[in-house]
Amino acid sequence: MRLLVFASGRGSNFEAIVEASKKNYLHSQVIGLLCDKECPAMEIAKKNSIPVSIIKPKDYQDKSIYIKTLLDVIKRYKPDYIILAGYMRILPAELIDEYPLKVINIHPSLLPQFPGKDSIAKAWDSGVKITGVTVHYVNDRMDAGPIIAQEFLKISDNMKKSSGLEKLENKIHKIEHRIYPASIKKLTEEPFDTLVVSKCLTGVNCRYDGGSKLSKRVKTFIKNFNGKIVDICPELEAGFDVPRPTTDIINGKAMMKGVGDITEKLENACNKIISRLSGSKKILAILKEKSPSCGVRSPKGIFASCVEKTLNVEKGSGVFIVSEEDL
């Protein structure tokens, strides 16, 4: 796989990825480094004969020209994944539209705690007893995409006594340099073989209100997905055609207006769908957050909880469930 790394700073994570690739731990190549300013990471690239591109947003008065330039440069590298390694900027929505679930980031806290800058110091100052590192997919909001991996680190009372913040930073970076290459390895070498996707996100008119919503990012992801695609709508599968009354989750039960409790019907439909996934090893499910049947809203949608019960998997192992809103 072709990895394009983005960095703005010291580049120690970039270096860890380059080393992992050189040692053949990663069977992927770092094909370029893209920076938003001159920074020490560029020296590491030069030492390793990795091409560098610098795109400084402040050089562009017109934001749309900046975005177009950025996208054109990225396209030339033909990356399979874009890896953020200390890139201190929120990416434009247009970039995520082109590369949905193909951009990942590492963050030195247990997200959603302490997003943004200076997270290690923020965790330290807050007095939390546990902090850590998060690897996540990137969307166009700050440190907010679906979480891929987290590692916890206890802040011990001992650490508190003796010049602790610096020690904590070192420990956090040590974890980062191990889990970032490991997460990239898993993503690139054990790809999802099956994509489960809510029918309404593919443009099928299956929603309770008869409307359909075609998500641009889901559409792009489907176009590039290399594997089996299973589109689902538990309501349709349960025999409720469109247009149909709204269903709401009330006290954990799926209540259809004017019809009543349809939980069991939806569960049966979900289990039928799940039985079609039996040959799949690694499943990605992109669901509609606001759908009570397939979605992942709170309390969880029926499909998500049937997956958990039936396949007995945790998020991050055999089935990775994300909501369209988080892409």
3-state secondary structure of 211: coil
Least distance to ligand GRF, CB of residue 85, Å: 5
Interface residues for ligand GRF in 107-126 (CB under 6 A)?
Answer: 107-108
Residue nearest to ligand GRF (CB): 86
Quote the CA–CA distance of 160 and 126 in Å, as a whole number: 12
Helix, coil or strand: residue 41: helix
By CB under 6 A, the count of residues binding ligand GRF is 13
Quote the least distance from Cβ 67 to ligand GRF, whole Å.
Answer: 22
Structure tokens at 227: 């594997």
Please report how close the Cβ of residue 37 comes to ligand GRF at its closest, in angstroms: 12
Q: Which position among 26, 85, 101, 135 is part of the footprint of ligand GRF (CB under 6 A)?
A: 85
- φ/ψ of 88, rounded to 5, equals -95, 50
Task: CB nearer to ligand GRF: give 16 or 256.
Answer: 16
Distance CA 310, CA 143 (A): 32
Comparison of 118 and 241: residue with beta carbon closer to ligand GRF: 118
Closer CB to ligand GRF, 6 or 303, in the complex: 6
Query: Counting beta carbons within 10 angstroms of the beta carbon of residue 150, is it exposed (0 to 12), middle (13 to 18) or buried (19 or more)?
Result: middle
Which of 107, 136, 173, 177 is flagged as catalytic?
Answer: 107
Is-contact 159 111, C-beta < 8 A? no
Which of 86, 132, 234, 292 binds ligand GRF (CB under 6 A)? It is 86
Active site residue 107: yes
Q: For the chain, give me the number of helices (H) and strands (E)? A: 11, 14
x/- mask, ligand GRF, residues 4-43, rule CB under 6 A, reads ---x-xxxxxx-----------------------------
Member of 3, 33, 176, 307 binding ligand GRF (CB under 6 A): 176
Q: Where are the beta strands (DSSP E) in the chain?
A: 2-7, 29-35, 52-54, 81-84, 103-107, 130-137, 147-154, 194-198, 228-232, 247-250, 253-256, 260-261, 283-287, 319-323
Nearest to 21 by CA among 13, 12, 11, 29: 29
Residue with Cβ nearer ligand GRF (134 or 247):
134
Among 2-10, 18-26, 89-97, 246-254, the segment contacting ligand GRF (CB under 6 A)? 2-10
Residues near ligand GRF, by CB under 6 A? 7, 9-14, 85-86, 106-108, 176
* Catalytic (active-site) positions: 107
